[in-house]
Amino acid sequence: MELGRISAPGWLLDRLKSASAPQEKLSSEVEDPPPYLMMDELLGRQRKVYLETYGCQMNVNDTEIAWSILQKSGYLRTSNLQEADVILLVTCSIREKAEQTIWNRLHQLKALKTRRPRSRVPLRIGILGCMAERLKEEILNREKMVDILAGPDAYRDLPRLLAVAESGQQAANVLLSLDETYADVMPVQTSASATSAFVSIMRGCDNMCSYCIVPFTRGRERSRPIASILEEVKKLSEQGLKEVTLLGQNVNSFRDNSEVQFNSAVPTNLSRGFTTNYKTKQGGLRFAHLLDQVSRVDPEMRIRFTSPHPKDFPDEVLQLIHERDNICKQIHLPAQSGSSRVLEAMRRGYSREAYVELVHHIRESIPGVSLSSDFIAGFCGETEEDHVQTVSLLREVQYNMGFLFAYSMRQKTRAYHRLKDDVPEEVKLRRLEELITIFREEATKANQTSVGCTQLVLVEGLSKRSATALCGRNDGNLKVIFPDAEMEDVNNPGLRVRAQPGDYVLVKITSASSQTLRGHVLCRTTLRDSSAYC
């Protein structure tokens, strides 16, 4: 595997040496260049890259970063798998099922690579992201058809890695960085019709929860300078986007140390009753300052953030969310379990009681806030009593949205080394089904409180299930479906319009389920003007 200097094939060296010599028949000992390369030389053909994204929102953002880098190196983007010269899979390692999806996809792509006509440039296949970081040697040894591996901190190296692959060698860079944030790389939006975008503000995680692979696949926490984040948000605003989501593995622990004058010994403020697994960090510009600055860029642009840790919700963050109309009143508050004993084994840094107290404090600070959460069923040593406590937490909090999964042990994690994955698979699945059932019941109750209310909705486009309906999302990030009908424009009295993607509309909610609200549209408005109606 070549990681350094690029070596040219013998036939190419021979051609370079004899470039000025009279044309004559080559000896049988000199390998003829592949016909695809001779044609590429004549046409100056650019390689076409096809990108597939799996997993979390960070991977969506990583795809945009990787494409930005490749575009500047002369690659073209294609949405047609058959015409691609390079196929890159941006992968996830959070659970075994996510990795198995990639192994299955590689098996499909192997057939595509084998059938490739010799008249075309050989198809190159690359694995990017967390799976490349976690399973580097296994991927290269098990799947010889994989040409390149690039970890989450190695996307700048993609042009070099692909150049190495052109010589027929496998190439890899999975080095983790202590400072890479891609602050100077402006992600390229992959959808021209998008109304929203993800903006990465930090990478990595220092929490070291015992079940989590993220610190081992994405490295230690480091934050982008605020100036570069604001520049990106301003450009997105200029492009007409109406919503940005600030991204990070632990987004609200953001700490910009790039400006020396702000590196005073001011300790981090944690949520009451919460602790960290690391030494308390001091100094830097914190998440509240960033959120304040981002929300001022464009009053008509909604601001969201994910994924936070419950420990990093000081009062100044909650107060800012309450005060600013364009900061969505929606908080993701990952609980993972309702049992204090399991939370301790997970190294989450809080008890059930501290978590519930935080929920009450958030709801008091931000009236009408929408809450979502993550839960893991069947963690190491989880008993039926622990499971019952998680069920009771779901009932007590009554989340609007939830993400629930069965536990999947990951190598390298603290749980892998120190705990026993002793809950049978069938028990995990049974408990997961019970949690999902309870969540849906409670979410339906929570969402039904919106029936009869008027809500501001950012239109995304046509409903996937009806050509006569539109869909969008409300402030709480719930999907809202409503008929595609003419309506009044509040800024142009008497004008009748139809909603377009990127419009804000007022919708009166008529029904609710655990995942969706339905209603009828009242008018087109602006974010600023909507406060008089909602």
Domain boundaries defined on the chain: 39-173, 196-448, 453-530
Average pLDDT of the segment spanning 512-525 = 96
Q: Is the pLDDT of residue 196 over 60?
A: yes
Predicted pLDDT at 37: 47
For residue 455, with 0-12 CB atoms within 10 Å meaning exposed, 13-18 middle and 19 or more buried, which class applies?
Answer: buried
**Pairing of β 171-173 and β 148-150:** parallel
CATH number of 196-448: 3.80.30.20
Name the helix (H) or strand (E) containing 375: strand 370-377
Query: pLDDT of 249-297, one tens digit each?
Result: 999 999 998 876 566 656 678 888 888 888 778 788 999 999 999 999 9
Predicted pLDDT at 4: 34
For residue 452, with 0-12 CB atoms within 10 Å meaning exposed, 13-18 middle and 19 or more buried, which class applies?
Answer: exposed
Domain 39-173 has CATH 3.90.580.10: no
Contacts of 323 (CB under 8 A, 6+ apart): none
Predicted pLDDT at 532: 65
Residue 533: band (very low, low, confident or very high) from pLDDT cuts 50, 70, 90: low
Predicted pLDDT at 5: 33
CA distance 262 to 285: 6
Predicted pLDDT at 119: 87
Predicted pLDDT at 311: 95
Q: Is the pLDDT of residue 20 over 50?
A: no
Average pLDDT of the segment spanning 452-467 = 95
Residue 15: band (very low, low, confident or very high) from pLDDT cuts 50, 70, 90: very low
Average pLDDT of the segment spanning 97-112 = 93
The sign one gets for the Cα dihedral 75, 76, 79, 84 is negative
Predicted pLDDT at 17: 37
CA distance 153 to 195: 28
Average model confidence (pLDDT) across the chain: 89
Q: What is the pTM of this model?
A: 0.86
Query: pLDDT of 385-400, one tens digit each?
Result: 999 999 999 999 999 9
Predicted pLDDT at 277: 84
Domain 453-530 has CATH 2.40.50.140: yes
